Structure 1
Amino acid sequence: MTYEVQPGPPGGGSGPAPAGEWRRRGTVSLWVPVMLLAFLQVAGSGAAGRHQSVRVALDGPGYLLLLAGPALLLLRRRAPVPVAAGTAVVTLLYVVLGYPYGPVFAALVVAFFSAVAAGHRKGVLIVAAGAFAAHALVGLWLYRWLPPSGDTRASWTEVSGAAAWLAAVLAAAELFRVRRERIARERRERAEAERRRADEERLRIAQELHDVLAHSISLINVQAGVALALIDERPEQARTALTTIKAASKEALGEVRQVLGALRTPGSQAPRAPAPGLDRLPELVEQATAAGLRAEVAVEGERAALPPGADLAAFRIVQEALTNVVRHSGSRTARVRLSYRPGLFQVQVDDDGPAAARGETGGGNGLVGMRERAAALGGTVETGPRPDGGFRVRARIPLGGRSASGTSGTPAGNTTPHPAGPAAEEHS
């Protein structure tokens, strides 16, 4: 199992903040910037007006316009485009009435940034184009009828400067939006990667537990049946079966404890016993013999050490295949063939059948687990009845990055089950 810790509120904390705390934070983040911006516009424009003799001195309506822009920003989250349009009108009216230049454009910049960041680029462009057209119209043709009387006709250089300033604001807003979306996308991708890693870890642990428990419990089940059948007539044989049950259960508990111990000890320093591999194949044969199954092992090619992942997968595949023979086959003989080839390892387990009616059939995860183990290494698993009867499990595991089939045309990770009917589903 995997334990996941739900993320807390932004800024840390051990748990989610109460609803009242979130509302308070939202109110502070909305009002404080607006109040600071209003103070900046009023104080900055008042100070700048002392050095602009040709402009109209600030009065009540002028201060009202300076406060109107920041006040509109309180609605920027609900209606970003209307707030941008309203702020543009207020700012343009302030300039047209001849009040001193200064940080009056700060509210307009914030409004444009908020609207673009919210994804309303087209609406902001329309508002910006309208505001620039009105500014150019007033500066080039209507200046005679508007205060201040000392103002003169605006030059094309000034109009172009205003256009460049507006374009720079829009470009910066777009860059801000792109960066914000990229950060959000990367955050989502990291969260998705974490979920995938957690799912893969759960699957790996589920496979390990299934392979360990299915094999051991199947052996225990068979030996328990033997003990029950012989406890009265042949108590010594029943004692041997019970001894086998004890050994199998002890081994299963040890392996389960190893898997769970790795979960409970986080970090790379977690104590881990060596993962099982084909060096423990004699133990599997001995356990199969105790369950009444004779396992014959043959090796083709020169035996060589396998990579840890391939070694574990091969061991689990043989273990699961022998477990299936014990549970689902009437044959008391299984043949295990290990083939070592350049760049490829193959393991094959055969039994002569027929399928046994005892025990549970269907609904297991053994065959699926085999295929997933092999596919994770770029290999394949074929399972199904043999033409002459019995059942066959054949796994191909590439070594050194070659495909399982030995050809470049077979995609890594593809599983090609042997043509089989319902008999294949009886093995789990």
Structure 2
Amino acid sequence: MPRAALIVPASAAATLAVVGAAEILLDAQFSAAPAAPAAALAAVAGGMLLAAWRPVAGAAVVGLAFPIAVLGGLHGPTGAAVLGFFAAPGWAGYRIVRARTSLLAPLAVQLLASLGTWVAGRASGSTVAGLGSQAWENLFFGLMAWGAWGVGRLARHLRDRAELLARLNTALDAEREAREHAAVAQERQRIARDMHDAVAHSISVMVLQIGAVRSTLPVGTAQAEMMTGIERLGRESVQELRGLVGLLREAAAREPAPPPSLARAEDLVAEVRAAGLPVELRVDGDLEGIPRAQDISAYRVLQEALTNVLRHAGPARTTVRVRRDPGSVALTVDNDAGTGTAGESPGGFGLIGMRERVAACSGTLAAGPRPGGYTVEAVFPLARVAP
């Protein structure tokens, strides 16, 4: 389960428990007979906690707080229950993927609220004023439950849209890199053709002309020997040009470099180490199978962070830690103080780009100096919300 899927309802349950306890202690009616409000509070807090695993069932348990309070002798739901009627359907609307399934949460709250108002009406007697009050309460709690559900669905829509934009941005980056590789290959092919068609051909013609001139000179003369040397040098130049053309064509025909991936973190560290940075890589967990958007973004953040160390701190001892667990991928680049500071120079965009990449994946980035060095830490959530 994603960490946020547990933290949000658990925090809501704890907050409602504190609010409900304060309500029981401070309200004279509740403190005189605390059994009913305490039972309603237990339903609210327990339902919100259950919503971490079963949002619809949790909303139904929260909705039971109204009938429980009325059956216990109260005239209506407690304040904590009213807050729960808003929080539970809203969380279900956000948490559940399918809108039709999430509709059951506000429906359950509305039906249980209607049951509570009916029980309260039966206890107080059926009068015209009582029927009007029941109608208003049904409308009020229905609007609250369905309004909260709508807010939750809107929040989920915005989050899904942000994730889609992040995936599209990743796909565009990959396409741009492929186009750049194709453009480089095409340019190499053009240079190879130009060298073969123009330079090598011209030199070959010159060699033939020099050979023709040499054949008219007396054998053994200095002029003949000089022409022979020029002719030999021309032929060697043609061979070297043909070899260079072959290299260019081979380079153009090679497969493009593998796409950016944390699975290639060792290669990236090796490149930076070859550039003079003493860096150590520590990997905890399997880096294969990470979702493409998070995988590429994490690789780019690591690449930018190591580049910043080289640019601003010089050959400072650096440690890279990559940790993957079921819910997230975290990477830390920690370098000692060097000739400079591994942060962002005035007018630089490295940290800004890293923050944008992390934010596009709904992750977090912390970057700043520490005693004796500088630390960059990025966390990318992995698991999508389950239906």
What is the TM-score of this pair, normalised by structure 2? 0.45
Structure number having the greater helix percentage: 2
Greater RCO, 1 or 2 (C-alpha within 8 Å, sep 6+): 2
